[in-house]
Structure 1
Amino acid sequence: MTIAASTYTSITTKHLIPLIKALPKAELHLHIEGSFEPELMFKLAQRNNITLSYDSVEALKEAYQFNNLQEFLDLYYQGMNVLQTQQDYYDLTRAYLDKVHRQNVRHVEIFWDPQGHLERGIDFATQITGILQALKEARSQQGMSYRLIMSFLRHLSEESAFETLEQAKPYLDEIYAVGLDSSEQGHPPEKFERVFAACRELDLKITAHAGEEGPPDYVWQALDLLQVDRIDHGNRSLEDPALVKRLADSQMVLTVCPLSNLKLQVVKDLGQHPIPAMLTAGLKATINSDDPAYFGGYMDENLIQLQQAVGLNAEQIITLVRNSITGSWAEEERKVELLAELDKVVSQFS
C-alpha cells in the first residue's frame, strides 16, 4: 500500500505523540543488560545474596549519570554481576519485553554480551536458555517476533571472541546475528576482521557499533573489513560526504539511539541531533533505545523526546518507523504484516 503525501500533511502536530504510541514498532538496537531497571537489579541482588555498592534504589538511580561511554560501561558491567541463574536472565528479558509490548513494539532484535558473563563464571547455556525462554513466551503469548544477536566485546581480544563463537556453535539455530560493542575508542573494527569472516561462513548476519564515539573511518572499516549488514549508531558518518553517499546509495540501515546519544554526550543537546540531517541525506536511519534503563527511555520516549526536540513531522516519524520494519531481520511475511498494521494506523490518523 502506498500512502499519499497528503495523508502525512493531514496529521496535525497535536496528534504526533498519539501517532507515535499507536504505530507498530520494531526495535533493532537493544542491549538486554542495558534494560536492567534499578528495582529489578536490587531484587535479583537480594535473591542471589549479592551486595551492591548502593544502599537503595534511589541511590542507584542517582548513579546513572555519565560523562562518556566508558563511565557508563563501568556501571553497566557492575550491574551485570547480579545475573547468576537462568531465572535471572529470564526475568531481565521478560521485564523488557513486557515493557515494550505496552508501547506497541511488535518485533525486537536483542543484543546480549556473553563474554561479560562468561568472565564471571556464568556458563553460556545458563545465559541463552533464560533469554530464549522469555523471547519464546513473548512470541506465543504476545505475538512479538524476535531475533537474538550475540555481541563480541571490542575491549577484549579477538581470541576471546573466537572462544565465545566456539561456545555458541551448539546454539546457532537460535542466534541470528553477531555484533560488536563496548568501548569504541582505540578498538577499531579491523581488530576483529578474522572472527567476523568466520561468522559470515556460518551464515550469521553481521552488525557493528561504529561512528558513535569512534571516527568515520571505523564505519568504513565495518563496511569493508567486517562486511556488515547494518551499522549500529553511525552518527559520525555525517562528517564524511563520501561515506554518506555510500550509505545512502546502499540503503545501509543505521540503528540510531537518540537518548543514548544525549546521555553519553555524543550530542550536547537533543535539539542538535543528526536524525533530520540523516533523513535529508537519504540515509536509512531507525530509532532505538540502546540501554533504556540507563538512558532514560524506551522506544516511545526516544521517538517522543526526539520529535519534541527537533520538530519531526508525521512523514519523518512514519519513515523512521517504516525503516525499522523494512530494515529488520524479520521474516519477509512478518514485515508485510507489520507494514500493513503501520498503514492502517496511519490511515486512522489521517
Structure 2
Amino acid sequence: MSEIRDFIKKLPKAELHIHIEGSLEPELMFKLSKKNAIEIPFKSVEEIRLAYKFNNLQSFLDIYYAGAAVLITEEDFYDLTWAYLERCKENNVLHTEVFYDPQTHTNRGIDFDIVINGIHRALVDGKNKLGISSKLIMCFLRHLDEADAFTTLEQASSHLDKIVAVGLDSSEIGHPPSKFERVFEKAQSMGLLTVAHAGEEGPPAYIWEALDLLKVSRIDHGVRALEDEALVTKLITEKIPLTICPLSNIKLCVFKKMSEHNYRKLLKKGLVVTINSDDPAYFGGYINQNYIETAEALSLSKEELALSAKNSFIASFISDEQKKIYCDLVDKTL
C-alpha cells in the first residue's frame, strides 16, 4: 500500500469540513493554558492525549468545549489557525474552507471581533506565505436557541467581507435544522451561502430539512443518506456534495470500523463525496491520514482517490475557473 500512500501525499486536495477549534493539538492546548492561566483538568500533554477517547458525539463535544477555553486573545486564534495551515501545507491541501464556532467563545466572554480577526489574519497570511487559498464559514451551535444564533448573526454583520457562508454544528440529535430556518433565511438575505451538518447521528429527515428549509449548498457528513433512496436520487440529480469525515465517523462510533464505512458506496453511486478531517487533533489524523485509512480499508483505486480530490474542488466555494485549474492538477497526478 506504500504506492497508494505516496499517491495520496502528492494528490492536490481541498478540505471542506474542518472545525478550527478541533485542530487544537494537545501541545498548543497545554501551552495556551499556561500562558493564559486557564485551569484545565490535565497535568500534561500526555494526559490530554489520553483523554481523547470518546464513545459518541456528546462525549467528544464535552472535551472539545473544555479545550476551547484556553483560547483567549486574537493571537491565540491566529496561532491555532496558522498551525492548521502548516498542516495543510504538509498534506498538499491547496484550498480550505474552515468552520469556526463564535458562540463557543462569545458565551464565555471573548469578544466576537477577537475571534474572527485572529482567524482571518492567519488565513490571509496562509494565502500570502503558503499559497493556500481559503474561505471562512461561521457555524451556529444547534444546542443553543434561535435567539442566540440571531445575536451571533448580528455580530457578524460588520465582518461579511471575511465570511462566505453560515453552517450548523454541535449536538445533532434533538436539534433539527428546522430550528434555525429563520436564521438561515436572514443569513441568505445578507448574501451568505449556507451549509449544515446533517445525517451523521441524525436521520435522513434532517438532511431533507437542511436542503428544503435551510437551502444549503452542501451537506456536512450526510452518511445516513443511503437509508433514503429518494434522498440519494435528489443528491445525485442536484449534485449536492457531502463532506464526509471518515476517521471522525469511526471515532464517534457512527461506523464500528473503517471497513464498514459507506464512503465507497456513496462514491460509486455517483454522489459528490469528499474526504475531510473534521476535528483532526481529536480524531487521529489530518486529511492525508483520512484518505490513507479510507483507501486501505475500502480498497480505493487511484482513480477513485483522484475523483474524491476533484470532488473536493468542485464542491468548494471558489470560482469555476479556479476549480478547473485545481482539477487539472489532480489529473496530472494520475
Paired residue type of 2:254 = V
Q: Does 1:161 align with 2:149?
A: yes
Q: Is the 8 A contact 1:145 1:330 kept in 2?
A: no
**Aligned mates of 2:255, 2:81 — CA distance in 1:** 29
Q: Which residue of 1 aligns with 2:212?
A: 224
C-alpha distance in 2, partners of 1:212/1:57? 30
Does the alignment pair 1:274 with 2:277? no
Instruction: State the distance in 2 between where 1:261 and 1:119 align.
Output: 28
Q: For residue 256 of structure 2, what is the amino acid of its counterpart?
A: K
* SS state at 2:17 partner: strand
Extract unaligned runs of 5+ from structure 1.
1-12
Which residue identity is paired with 1:56? S
| CA shift digits 1:179-218 (9 cap, x unpaired) | 0000000000000000000111112110000000000000
Q: Distance in 2 between matches of 1:212 and 1:48?
A: 35
Residues 98-107 or 288-297, more deviating: 98-107
Over the matched positions of the two proteins, sequence identity in percent amounts to: 54
**TM (normalized to structure 2)?**
0.99
- After TM superposition, list the pairs within 5 Å mapping 1:190-209 onto structure 2: 190-209=178-197
Matched, 1:111 2:133: no
14-23 or 280-289, which moves further after superposition? 14-23
> Does the 8 A contact of 2:204 with 2:228 survive in 1?
yes
Q: In the comparison of the two structures, how many residue pairs are matched?
A: 334
2:222 aligns to what?
234
Q: Report what 2:299 is aligned to.
A: 311
After superposition, the C-alpha distances for 1:44-72 in whole angstroms (9 at most, x for unaligned) are: 11110112101111011000000000000
1:14 CA drift (Å): 4.9
Equivalent position SS for 1:178? strand
Which residue is equivalent to 1:89?
A: 77
Give the match's secondary structure for 2:109: coil
Runs of 4+ in structure 1 over 4 Å off: none
- Is 1:336 equivalent to 2:320 in the alignment? no
What amino acid is the match of 1:86? E
Instruction: For residue 337 of structure 1, report the CA deviation from its aligned partner.
Output: 2.1
Deviations, residues 312-342 of structure 1 (Å, cap 9, x unaligned): 1111111111100111111233222212221
Aligned to 1:170: 158
Q: Following the alignment from structure 1 to structure 2, what is the Cα–Cα distance between the partners of residues 243 and 345?
A: 33
Among candidates 223, 242, 246, match of residue 258 of structure 1: 246
Aligned partners of 2:190, 2:320: CA distance in 1, in Å? 21
Q: Which amino acid in 1 is paired with 2:244?
A: V
Pick aligned residue for 2:112 from 110, 124, 141: 124
Q: Is residue 101–residue 140 contact of structure 2 (8 Å, CA) maintained in 1?
A: yes
1:6-61 alpha-carbon deviations (Å, 9 max, x no partner)? xxxxxxx6522111100111000000000000000001111101121011110110
- What value does the CA root-mean-square deviation take over the aligned residues? 0.8
Aligned residue number for residue 203 of structure 2? 215
> Could you tell me which amino acid in structure 2 is paired with residue 66 of structure 1?
F
**Structure 2 unaligned blocks of 5 or more:** none
Name whichever of 328-337 and 256-265 sits farther off: 328-337
* SS of corresponding position for 1:108: strand
For residue 167 of structure 2, give the secondary structure of its aligned residue in structure 1: strand
* Greater displacement, 149-158 / 48-57: 48-57
Letter in 2 for 1:249: T
The 8 Å contact of residues 24 and 104 in structure 1, kept in 2 or not, is answered as yes
Counterpart in 1 of 2:9?
21
Q: In the alignment, what sits opposite 2:28?
A: 40
The amino acid of 1:44's aligned partner reads L
Deviation by residue 1:64-87 (Cα, 9 ceiling, x = unmatched) = 000000000000000010000000
